[in-house]
Amino acid sequence: MALTEVAEPEPFEGTLLVRALQLGICGTDFDLIAGDYGWAPDGCGHLVLGHESLGEVAEASDAGNFKKGDLVVGIVRRPDAQPCVACAVGEWDMCRNGRYTERGIKERHGFGAQRWRIEPEFAVKVEAEMRAVGVLVEPASVLAKAWEHIEHIGRRAHWRPRSLLVTGAGPIGLLAAMMGQQRGLAVHVLDQVTDGPKPKLVEDLGAKYHTGGVERLGFRPDIVIECSGAAALTRDCMLHLGSAGILCMVGSSAHAQDALLDISQFNRAMVLSNLAVFGVVNGNRRHYEQAAEALRRASRSWLLGLITRREPFANWRAAFERQPGDVKVVIDLASGA
């Protein structure tokens, strides 16, 4: 990982020239830096990091609805060049052949530069009042997709869910809980930590914070959104779902976790209680728009509390050093290097 001078973005990269404001850091960035994941663009020896963006339009030539000064978030994924059935209709988040690309992750430079360009159809407008929290739109888009799919699956039968359990109180889990609260559910969040900002963020949402095992909750949730990626916890959630319950996995697991699952026990739970267990990744344009709307309706002060550290550009390296009490860390790219 290095800070380096790169060329001015080329007009072919998009008709919107954007002055970067903020960049959010997430677990995928740590995987990229460790070399565990990610691909540089073809013929390029480096990958510009950054997929959680917020910027201000500096030039909008032939850019439809955008004008100079608009706040925008960049969509991360691009459909494959010869699109599969999903990509062909704008649902690149459901890409079937894996030949999609992703800014800052897979074969396309990211948004971790002071200026970047984007195609208007891959830019999402954010209201001016959202300037301080708009960087949360990209992570929230994944949860908007999770909720959309949970509700689609829920419509398989008459179903009136009351309780939500979110496992993992990082930024993804907290945004999942926020959207559960917006749906009028009784929200429970389970994590390991007993101090730091997470318990209070959960309580401020009007939700209940838990530590310890799922079996000690005292109830079986109708919906679980699994955001920890912890294998044993995921298994316990699968076995403690309420009848007709839906479990959505958002957190991806590190390899080689030692957790056993009795498939016959899981099978009986699935069959006898009509359970649904599924996973989601990424989001399409519709989910970014749903995310921006959910954030707009949320408490601004609560959202500001999710961003626990803002590093000035000159101190960018510190953003990639994990500190106790971090929830979401952002780099203020507009502050000058």
For Zn ion, the binding residues (CB under 5 A) are: 80, 84, 87, 95
SS3 27: helix
Closest CB to Zn ion among 80 and 151? 80
Burial (CB < 10 A; 0-12, 13-18, 19+), residue 293, is middle
Shortest distance, CB of residue 59 to Zn ion, whole angstroms?
A: 31
Using CA atoms, how far apart are residues 58 and 70, in angstroms rounded to an integer?
Answer: 8
Shortest distance, CB of residue 97 to Zn ion, whole angstroms?
A: 5
In this structure, are residues 171 and 328 in contact, taking their beta carbons and an 8 Å threshold?
Answer: yes
Rounded to a whole number, what is the distance in angstroms from the first to the last CA of the chain? 16
Closest CB to Zn ion among 80 and 293? 80
Tokens of 275: 């359970």
**Which ranges of the chain does DSSP label H, i.e. alpha helix?**
27-33, 85-88, 137-154, 171-182, 198-204, 231-239, 263-272, 285-297, 300-306
Closest CB to Zn ion among 16 and 87? 87
SS3 274: coil
Burial (CB < 10 A; 0-12, 13-18, 19+), residue 2, is exposed
Length of the chain counted residue by residue: 337
Closest CB to Zn ion among 77 and 188? 77
Closest CB to Zn ion among 286 and 310? 286
Closest CB to Zn ion among 87 and 172? 87
Shortest distance, CB of residue 178 to Zn ion, whole angstroms?
A: 30
Shortest distance, CB of residue 292 to Zn ion, whole angstroms?
A: 24
Closest CB to Zn ion among 100 and 209? 100
Tokens of 77: 């994924």
Shortest distance, CB of residue 324 to Zn ion, whole angstroms?
A: 40
Closest CB to Zn ion among 102 and 236? 102
Using CA atoms, how far apart are residues 25 and 328, in angstroms rounded to an integer?
Answer: 7
Shortest distance, CB of residue 81 to Zn ion, whole angstroms?
A: 10
Using CA atoms, how far apart are residues 337 and 335, in angstroms rounded to an integer?
Answer: 7
Shortest distance, CB of residue 52 to Zn ion, whole angstroms?
A: 22
Per-residue DSSP letters for 45-63? Answer: S------EEEEEEEEETT-
Q: What is the 8-class DSSP label of residue 251?
A: S
Shortest distance, CB of residue 80 to Zn ion, whole angstroms?
A: 4
What's the chain's Rg over C-alpha atoms?
20
